[in-house]
Amino acid sequence: MARFAANLTMLFNEVDFLTRFEKAHDAGFKAVEFLFPYAYEPQVLADKLSQFGFEQALFNMPPGDWDAGERGFAAIPGREAEFRQSVDTALMYAQALKCKKVHAMSGLLDSQFSYQEHVDTFIENIRYAADKFAEQGVELMIEPLNSRDVPGYFVAHQREAVELIKQVDRPNVKLQFDVYHAQIMDGDLTVMIRDLADYIGHVQIASVPERHEPSEGEVNYPHVFNMLDNAGYVGWIGCEYKPRKSTEEGLDWVKPHL
């Protein structure tokens, strides 16, 4: 049975970030996720989770200079020391928020280096992070991002990500299966979910092509949810979409599931 987490970076943008916890609670959500927690002290966010009885489903490791266009650096040669420091930062937040899934952003390909150099750096960094996270029972997610929204991202295809996960060879490294990105880059969702089920550690959703409520667009989400159930997925499904109007106006699709 599908369980949905409100992505507080994308949803309830009508109010400031900390107020979004209350809005998500009032809407009926039992879990939340967001891109980055680092603008707030860990205890501030932990208190919000406790106040409203939320489970923290997921957050991302530090991405580098987001405003300058960086999208992580796990695969970027020469930034290994920075990556290791970011592991410690993310782990501190994961412990405070009791979060068991953290996404490591790979970064944009750097023309100074060969693709294989990016792969080698990625594998080394992800192994290091996975081993550190495993000590606290935390899984590390790898998410492909589509090349339309994020040109030049290190990994854009679901099966490509799984091949990298196999090379990393750590049991707590999983695929973050964002249906929005997967449909844009790969399609064939039914077969892909069936084939990759053993690797899927977290799921996110949005409509395609405009990334609005999953009740519109070209993806048959009731079918996708059934496929995930059949594949044995029991984790949270992150609602990482841009509401077409206000968040509350677009929540009719999820209310039966909350």
Q: What is the CATH number of the domain that holds 164?
A: 3.20.20.150
Cα separations in angstroms, 197 against 22, 38, 102, 205, 212: 33, 31, 19, 16, 25
Annotated catalytic residue, options 33, 139, 143, 213? 143
- Rg of the chain (C-alpha set): 17
- The structure tokens 């939340």 sit at 32
Distance of CA 214 to the CA centre of its chain: 17
Domain that holds residue 46: 3-257
Q: Which two structure tokens, joined as six digits, stand for 78?
A: 């020469």
Question: Could you say which DSSP state residue 15 is in?
Answer: S
- The structure tokens 């970076």 sit at 9
Residue 174 is predicted with a pLDDT of 98
Quote the crossing angle between the two packed helices 20-27 and 42-52, to the nearest 10°: 20
Are the C-beta atoms of residues 239 and 205 closer than 8 Å to each other? yes
Q: Which two structure tokens, joined as six digits, stand for 161?
A: 């990500």
Q: What is the pLDDT along the chain (258 residues), one digit of tens a residue?
A: 889 999 999 999 999 999 999 999 999 999 999 999 999 999 999 999 999 999 999 999 999 999 999 999 999 999 999 999 999 999 999 999 999 999 999 999 999 999 999 999 999 999 999 999 999 999 999 999 999 999 999 999 999 999 999 999 999 999 999 999 999 999 999 999 999 999 999 999 999 999 999 999 999 999 999 999 999 999 999 999 999 999 999 999 999 989
pTM for the model? 0.97
Q: Which two structure tokens, joined as six digits, stand for 5?
A: 């987490």
Instruction: Report the distance separating Cα 79 and Cα 73, nearest Å.
Output: 7
Domain count, the chain: 1
Tell me whether residue 240 is one of the annotated catalytic residues.
yes
Annotated catalytic residue, options 160, 240, 248, 249? 240
Residue 221 is predicted with a pLDDT of 97
Residue 1 is predicted with a pLDDT of 81
What CA dihedral angle connects 82, 166, 102 and 226, to 10 degrees? 160
Q: Which two structure tokens, joined as six digits, stand for 166?
A: 């196999």
Residues β-bridged to residue 202? 176
